[in-house]
Structure 1
Amino acid sequence: MTDDPSRRKVLKNSGVLAGAALLTGVTTEGTAQASPRTGASSPVVELPAGRLRGSTEGALAVFKGVPYAAPPVGALRWRPAQPHPGWQGTREATAFGPSAPQPYREGGDQVLGTHGSPPFDEDCLTLNVWTPGADDAKRPVMVWIHGGGFISGSGSMPQYSGETFARDGDLVAVTINYRLGPLGYLYFGEDGTGGNFWLTDQLAALQWVRANIAAFGGDPDNITVAGQSGGALSVAALAGARPKGRPLFRRAILQSPPLGLTIPTRAESLQRTATFLEIVGAKNVAELRAVPWQRLIAATFEMFGRTGRWGYWSTPFLPVIDEVTLDRNPADLLLSGAGADIDVLIGWTREEANFAFALSEPYVAATKDQVLARARDTFGNRAAQAYTAYEEARPGARPVDVLMDLIGDDLFRMPAVDLAERRAARGRPVWAYQFDLPTPAHSGRLAAAHCLELPFVFDNFDKWSQAPFLAGLDPRVRDGLAATMHASWISFIRTGNPNHDPMPRWDRYDRDSRTTMSLDSVTTAVGDLAGHWRRLHRPTAP
């Protein structure tokens, strides 16, 4: 049965969607039942690698800690992901695997709280699956890739649980772990194997999903890969993989992708690796392979100091244009080849950079001269004009406000708009949004900061209780916007179109209307929402 968007209805039950069958206009008579095939207490699936036993959580079958590649330890540290050898008998899949090694501070920070918690281990290449039924229903699949500045996060975080998507959308939801920080992003240029070990992990996970997801009730030909921040950059990078000339997935959701990052060349990455070797006291990769991962992660803190620049988001570890796994900026991979055929939903938050800078006392004390100097990096001799434009756009703006808006545009909004522009010019499908709802937390200083849209997308605020940046949100506004966004994401995953009743019509981004959905207490479709800033950054833009 084809999905008719005009028949779809969003039903609310305590702020969440009432059911996928009603959401999509498909009657329960025409769908598989959502009970695990082998019994309520212990769903079992047969895979080429071996048998898996999961658990039942509510109406879902859940499989946790499923290995998708060989443990990247010993000689496999800083090697591309390798196939997992499989196992004998029945493997229990009822507990999450360890998260990738990463910096950790008890109690977390003032914005997100914690983002990735122990246990940590190099043997971390596992994924998790939530499904309404391990049957043959061929449901759409969502694969979620977490962000975290390339150094933190986990597919096992409660905030990223696939439960709400699987339950509310009749979807199969998958979350993954992949190598982070020095273990995932250092580049050595040895043996011609390239770098970007994080990307080889993600590619192995996606290939695992393609090969195995049918056993979990999913459709391997109807996969959406979604991610936020560094995870969204990963989604774009994965678009370049094209076995047999076709994309590995049908749709892409990119939430706040930092497409404005300058991805280092091989030579530049080798310089960064040399800095890391000096910090650790190792001469080469062979010596580094003998260093315990705890010491490698500890060196991350000094890497921040060695690689950071004033007025820029700190990223001590970065992908590399290694000409093997990645040969161009990830955004370009969504414009040609297999990536051009992928449906794209892309967006940003209105005050992205407030996340990293609004609560930083040194930046709060920034002077106009300092910000003007930073603005020259972007605008050259038009820096003063740009400063005035940003200052006038935010009444009572301080220099730090101008700086944060400039950084947010440089790193997130303008490159995302540029990708939408270029796809629209080629007639390729793309939908754009801006998340505008500010949080009152920290006296409103965070505004609509980076990451704030995440609990709205997942519609699972109960899993975000440790996150300070949600304090003070009006529950009625919060839950109403979450229901709207969650339903749009589900609709896009199922149909390639984010529209649903009763939200306003959300047209594709094109070169005539440049429709962008403003996601706020009142959700509104706006024509050319970023037009003023697009022309400021690119004076010749139409």
Structure 2
Amino acid sequence: MPHAGRRGARRSAARAVRGRPRGLPGIPYAAPPVGDLRWRPARPHAGWDGVREAAEYGPSAPQPVRADPVLGGHGAPPLDEDCLTLNVWTPATDTARRPVLVWIHGGGFVSGSGTLPIYAGDTFARDGDLVVVSISYRIGALGYVYLGPDDDADGGNFWLTDQLAALRWVRENIAAFGGDPDDVTVAGQSGGAFSTAALAVHPEGRRLFHRAILQSPPFGVATPDPEESLRTTAALLEVAGVADVAELRALPWERLVEATIGMFGVRARWGQWPVPFLPVVDGSTLTRNPVEALIAGENPEIEILLGWTGNEAGFAFGANEMYTDATHAEVRGRFVESFGERGAEAYDVFAAAHPDASALDLLTDLVSDELFRLPSVALAEARAEHGRPAWVYQFDYATPAYDGRLGAAHCLELPFSFRNADRWSHAPFLAGVEPKTLDGLGAAMHDAWISFIRTGDPNHAGLPTWERYTAPNRATMLFDATNTAGTDPVGPAKRRLYAEGDGGR
């Protein structure tokens, strides 16, 4: 089945599919998940006759499209439930067998797309002589709703079945685009990093790639069991105004997107990062939280580059008026939620580490630890114990936007690792960043990612020596306006605090 790839920017109109009426653009990697295939695992695509023109992006998965005070927006029309397409960038369709990068977007499990210009793979293809694939997959209610063991949906986590189908496509077709199917790195950020880890411990997925880049994986989310997920489904039925799953199946996707917006309100709790839908530990597609599986030693052969931003939760709180005037009393209460009777002690430990910190800063630090830093450090230390140390980084550059309240927020490393800040002009979080920082820090990160994809080692001439993370050294590359080779990103005081109890999740 021949495929036509795409390079460069979106064009103004889709071209015809030779041999058939024109369908949606993009390269389909699975059957459209519509009609009877809604809330079913990804199925093989039926194929087509002749040559399919695929020089256009396909549609994004259905999702809320609205202004965002940090990113400026993370989804853009056109949207369509028929969204299982991918994009390919390659220096040449020859037999060079270049290393392959597969990018999985994040977005809190409800937004984002492989079609967004900010995730275009041309910078990696150009600068690293790589073949790059970005994918769109089901998100929000269409990707994460769990219908229960009595439904004939064959489990849950439809998003994961989509991603597995995309990796199968890469395995079967990427050589025709100049790529090496035996040299594949999967990378993702936030929800995409969670996806990458889930693929790495999946019995089939782990055989389809051998390197992983985990940018800000939210390993601290409490992955629900089927019973908990069914309660989320019941809440969705109520918000959508339908009586049962049969009526939910009949809703147009636009109504499901509206209900997703309503689910944010259902999930909202002060001082928590709201996520309407979560992956379900259904016992078949996902047997436990992927970080638990990796910590336990599953897939020890995979090479991992792992990191987070210094102030992840600045994304959720720094530009939110609900939190910008938070009081120390309110934040102390949030510490009690996490640490129980040790809440006051924990608050004092955090405050002592940053004597000039505001209440907002301390809340940001706590949630950043819980959702991102601590479980990622636990993975790095487990990998070291198993004799396969990871490469670990912390992105510490604090944006001047919003008078510095965002800090080194979630997603801020993306314009640097992709080295495409010019495509983020819509994003408020880059306001005030100096061009020399965009260029210098971008070159340092981008070249490190390319080096890791090509060799398994991120070191290059533009960085100080980057060592793997081991128990003795806790080596961590600190990406900032000036990059430094640091150690122990948690710090001794916090480490003692967390070691003494179950706080911080």
Give a deviation string over 1:294-337, Cα, whole Å, max 9, x none: 01100112111112222110001111000010001111333456
1:211 alignment partner in structure 2: 172
| Matching of residues 20-59 of structure 1 within 5 Å | 50-54=1-5, 57=8
Using a 3 Å threshold, how does the CA distance of structure 1 residues 407 and 56 change in structure 2: closer, same or farther?
Answer: closer
1:329 alignment partner in structure 2: 289
* 1:175 has 2:134 as partner: yes
3-state SS, counterpart of residue 183 of structure 2: strand
| Letter paired with 1:473 | V
1:310 alignment partner in structure 2: 270
Q: Output the CA distance in 1 between the equivalents of 2:123 and 2:382.
A: 33
1:85 alignment partner in structure 2: 46
Q: Output the CA distance in 2 between the equivalents of 1:487 and 1:185.
A: 34
Cα pair 2:185 2:209 within 8 Å, conserved: yes
| Matching of residues 46-445 of structure 1 within 5 Å | 50-54=1-5, 57=8, 65-105=26-66, 108-189=67-148, 190-191=151-152, 193-243=154-204, 247-335=207-295, 339-445=299-405
Using a 3 Å threshold, how does the CA distance of structure 1 residues 212 and 265 change in structure 2: closer, same or farther?
Answer: same
| Letter paired with 1:122 | E
2:444 alignment partner in structure 1: 484
Q: Output the CA distance in 1 between the equivalents of 2:241 and 2:7.
A: 48
Unaligned runs of 5+ in 1: 1-49
Q: Output the CA distance in 1 between the equivalents of 2:51 and 2:130.
A: 25
Cα pair 1:247 1:339 within 8 Å, conserved: no
**What is the percent sequence identity of the aligned residues?**
60
Q: How far 1:445 sits from its partner (Å)?
A: 1.2
Q: Output the CA distance in 2 between the equivalents of 1:451 and 1:461.
A: 12
Cα pair 1:441 1:470 within 8 Å, conserved: yes
| Letter paired with 2:238 | E
Q: How far 1:443 sits from its partner (Å)?
A: 1.2
Which of these residues, 490, 495, 501, is aligned with residue 534 of structure 1?
A: 495
| Aligned pairs, number | 485
Give a deviation string over 1:38-97, Cα, whole Å, max 9, x none: xxxxxxxxxxxx323345549xxxx97100000000000000000000011110011000
Q: How far 1:208 sits from its partner (Å)?
A: 1.0
Cα pair 1:236 1:333 within 8 Å, conserved: no
| Letter paired with 1:144 | W
Cα pair 1:77 1:289 within 8 Å, conserved: yes
Q: Output the CA distance in 2 between the equivalents of 1:452 and 1:281.
A: 37
| Letter paired with 2:352 | E
3-state SS, counterpart of residue 92 of structure 1: coil
Q: How far 1:182 sits from its partner (Å)?
A: 0.4
Q: Output the CA distance in 2 between the equivalents of 1:125 and 1:431.
A: 32
Q: Output the CA distance in 1 between the equivalents of 2:433 and 2:478.
A: 18
| Letter paired with 2:345 | Q
Q: Output the CA distance in 2 between the equivalents of 1:261 and 1:160.
A: 24
Q: Output the CA distance in 2 between the equivalents of 1:398 and 1:479.
A: 31
Q: How far 1:216 sits from its partner (Å)?
A: 0.8
Cα pair 1:516 1:529 within 8 Å, conserved: yes
Q: Output the CA distance in 2 between the equivalents of 1:246 and 1:239.
A: 4
Q: Output the CA distance in 1 between the equivalents of 2:487 and 2:136.
A: 38
Give a deviation string over 1:466-517, Cα, whole Å, max 9, x none: 1111111111122111101100000000011101113111010001101000
Unaligned runs of 5+ in 2: 10-14, 16-24
| Letter paired with 1:302 | G
Using a 3 Å threshold, how does the CA distance of structure 1 residues 333 and 216 change in structure 2: closer, same or farther?
Answer: farther
Give a deviation string over 1:256-278, Cα, whole Å, max 9, x none: 00000000000000001001011
| Letter paired with 1:400 | L
TM-score by length of 2: 0.93
Using a 3 Å threshold, how does the CA distance of structure 1 residues 202 and 380 change in structure 2: closer, same or farther?
Answer: same
381-390 or 343-352: which moved more? 381-390
Q: Output the CA distance in 2 between the equivalents of 1:399 and 1:462.
A: 34
Q: How far 1:211 sits from its partner (Å)?
A: 1.3
Q: Output the CA distance in 2 between the equivalents of 1:513 and 1:436.
A: 19
| Letter paired with 1:218 | G
| Structure whose residues are more often strand by fraction | 1
372-381 or 465-474: which moved more? 372-381
Cα pair 2:118 2:415 within 8 Å, conserved: yes
Q: Output the CA distance in 1 between the equivalents of 2:290 and 2:144.
A: 15
Using a 3 Å threshold, how does the CA distance of structure 1 residues 68 and 55 change in structure 2: closer, same or farther?
Answer: closer
Using a 3 Å threshold, how does the CA distance of structure 1 residues 445 and 332 change in structure 2: closer, same or farther?
Answer: same
Q: How far 1:163 sits from its partner (Å)?
A: 0.3
Cα pair 1:247 1:342 within 8 Å, conserved: no
Give a deviation string over 1:360-390, Cα, whole Å, max 9, x none: 1222232323222221232222211211122
Q: Output the CA distance in 2 between the equivalents of 1:524 and 1:271.
A: 46
Cα pair 1:112 1:466 within 8 Å, conserved: yes
Cα pair 1:149 1:229 within 8 Å, conserved: yes
| Letter paired with 2:245 | V
Q: How far 1:159 sits from its partner (Å)?
A: 0.5
3-state SS, counterpart of residue 250 of structure 2: coil
Please provide the CA RMSD for this pair: 1.8
